[in-house]
Structure 1
Amino acid sequence: MSLFLTYVLAGLSIAMPVGAITVEMTKQGLKKGFMQGWAVGLGGMTIDVILIFALYMGLASVLSIPYIQLPMWLVGAGFLFLIGYDSIKNADQGIILDGEKSDATFFSTYRNGIVVALSPGNLVFWISVFGAVLADSYDANEKASFLIVGAGILTGILLHDIGLLSIVSITRKAMNRTMIKWFSIVAGVVLIGFAMYFIYNFIDGVSSYL
């Protein structure tokens, strides 16, 4: 139990820094409500589960190869730039104020979470984070403990998502359509900022080989 609780805290720590999923989740939570924001988080967690399994099977060693990693940073930047641009362009669309009914389906927003999480650069970033945390816990003779660690990390991320969206759902009650629109614009700028960070990693990686 102590091992599980330790890695629940690790999962919370991993989820705390603002990332592309957090930005998209908060944006959808403000525009469309708790369930739509949580759908984004669940989409991201679906990829997290796959990543943990893939790391367990040895994917981290493959993605650590520079010739594979570098193009993923660049493609990831393109993904996030497009998502950020769309967030700015459609900032005033799809806003559902408190008490109104959303016409967006849970699955469509869940799919958005998967798309953001599947951004190649985002995968490289999260695999480096997961890899650092999970590498210390992996023991070929104690595979069950690795699963406990993975479950603890996912539980921590889930608690973070629920806590964040609870705050968002309370906050949106005091926000009008214009305020939510501007938050969507800011979210788009932040996502483009992540795209620029991925481009920086690409350039830095290339320059190290020149």
Structure 2
Amino acid sequence: MQTFLTFIVVGFSIALPVGAITVEMTKQGLKNGFFHGLTVGAGGMTIDLLLILALYAGFAQFLSLPFVQIPLWLIGAIFLMILAYDSIKHADQDIHLAGEKVNKSFAKTYRNGLLVAVSPGNLVFWVSVFGAVLADAYTKTDSSEFMLASGGILAGILLHDIGLLTLVSLTRKVMNRTMIKWTSIIAGILLLGFGCYFFYEFYMGIKVYF
């Protein structure tokens, strides 16, 4: 239990820095409400879970290879550019104020979370930083320690997402359509910035290794 609680704190700390997932969650939370924002987080956590399973299966070394990571920078950049374009172009669409009925598809929102999370930045973190922690937990006793550590981190991330979206939902109650529209535009610009950074990392990877 102590291991689980410790890693809840670790997972919460991991989720605190503002990244592309946080931006997309906030945007969806403002435009369509708490559960749509949480669905974005669920998409991101799905990728996190798959990476945990990959680490458990021993694929960490494969995932850290340059010829695996470099294409992922490009793929992540393209996905983020698409989401940024959509966020800016449709900033004044699909806005539902607090109390209004939301008809946006949860499947589409979940897909956005998946696309944002499929990034080498996320992959590199899990392999290099978190992978070492999990590897240590795995070798100390048995696989049950690994599972507790993994579950604790995912629980911490979920706790962060719920807390963030609770604040977003409260803020949403005092915002009008124009304010939400400009929030969506700003979110698109931030996603565009992340996309440009990914393109830069892809270029540097090509330059160094090829």
Q: TM > 0.5 between the two?
A: yes
User: 1: CA distance between counterparts of 2:163 and 2:3?
Assistant: 22
Distance between the aligned counterparts of 2:55 and 2:40, measured in 1?
23
In the alignment, the residues of structure 1 paired with residue 144 and residue 179 of structure 2 have an alpha-carbon distance, to the nearest angstrom, of 48
Shift of 1:69: 1.1
Superposition TM-score, scaled by structure 2 size: 0.92
Q: CA deviation at 1:141?
A: 4.7
Which has the higher mean CA deviation after the structures are superposed, 153-162 or 39-48?
39-48
Cα pair 2:51 2:123 within 8 Å, conserved: no
Structure 1 residue 139: Cα displacement = 1.1
Q: Which residue matches 2:120? A: 121
Cα distance between partner residues in 1 of 2:78 and 2:195: 7
The equivalent of 1:207 in structure 2 is: 207
Change (3 A) 1:124 1:191: same
> How many residues align structurally?
209
Aligned to 2:49: 49
Q: Runs of at least 4 residues of structure 1 off by over 6 A?
A: none
RMSD over equivalenced CA pairs, Å: 1.7
Deviation at 1:125, TM superposition (A): 4.0
Aligned to 1:190: 190
Partner of 1:178: 178
Which segments of 5 or more consecutive residues in structure 1 lack a partner in the other structure?
Answer: none
Structure 2 unaligned blocks of 5 or more: none
2:24 is aligned with 1:24: yes
Q: Which moved more, 1:75-84 or 1:128-137?
A: 128-137
TM-score scaled by length of structure 1:
0.92
For 1:144, the equivalent position in structure 2 comes to: 144
For residues 162-208 of structure 1, give each alpha carbon's deviation from its aligned partner in whole angstroms, at most 9, with x where no partner exists. Answer: 00000000001111101101110111111111111212222222333
Corresponding residue for residue 34 of structure 1? 34
1:181–1:133 CA distance, 2 compared to 1 (3 A) = farther
Identity of aligned residues (%): 58
Q: Is the 8 A contact 2:34 2:165 kept in 1?
A: yes
Which amino acid is 1:31 matched to?
Answer: K
Q: Please give the alpha-carbon distance, in whole angstroms, between the structure 1 residues aligned to 2:76 and 2:168.
A: 27
C-alpha separation in 2, matches of 1:52 and 1:155: 13
Partners of 1:124 and 1:166 in 2: CA distance: 28
| Whole-Å separation in 1 of the counterparts to 2:75 and 2:109 | 22
Change (3 A) 1:201 1:138: farther
Residues 3, 149 of structure 2: 8 Å contact kept = yes
